[in-house]
Every structure is written in structure tokens, then in C-alpha cells.
Amino acid sequence: MNNTQFFFDNLPLFIPIIILEVALMLTALVSVLKSKTFRLGSKPIWIIVVVLLQIIGPVIYFAFGREERA
């Protein structure tokens, strides 16, 4: 079985994962772009982390980078 066949055989599993990944990345990216301050790092660093680290990047941002809102 080649990789393409594996992908299409498991497409019903991959579609929700891809949708979750894109939604989480867009939510985190909008939050980064709207924020003026961060607990750790700066805006360019968080943009790179959110975009390049796939699912774990936005989770790291929401856990450690996002400034608490009053």
C-alpha cells in the first residue's frame, strides 16, 4: 500500500483532524495579532510558533504566551 492509498483510505479520520488544526491555528493567530502584550516572547515569535508547530503551537501559545485578560 502506498502513501496516497493510505491517505484516501483514512480520509474520514484525517478530515476532522485537519479542520481542528486549521481552526485552532486561525484562532491562535487572530489572538496573537490582536494582542499587544504577551507573558513570554513577542508577536513575531508567537506567529512563527503558532504557524509552524501545527497543533501543538497554538496550544503552547494559549497555555504560556497569552496575556491574562481582565
| Domain segments of the chain as ranges | 3-65
Residues of 31-53 as b/e, b for ≥16 C-beta within 10 angstroms? bbeeeeebeeeeeeebbebbeee
Confidence of residue 3 (pLDDT cuts 50, 70, 90): confident
What is the per-residue pLDDT across 43-68, written as a single tens digit (0 to 9) for each?
A: 999 999 999 998 899 999 999 888 87
Is residue 19 pLDDT above 60, yes or no? yes
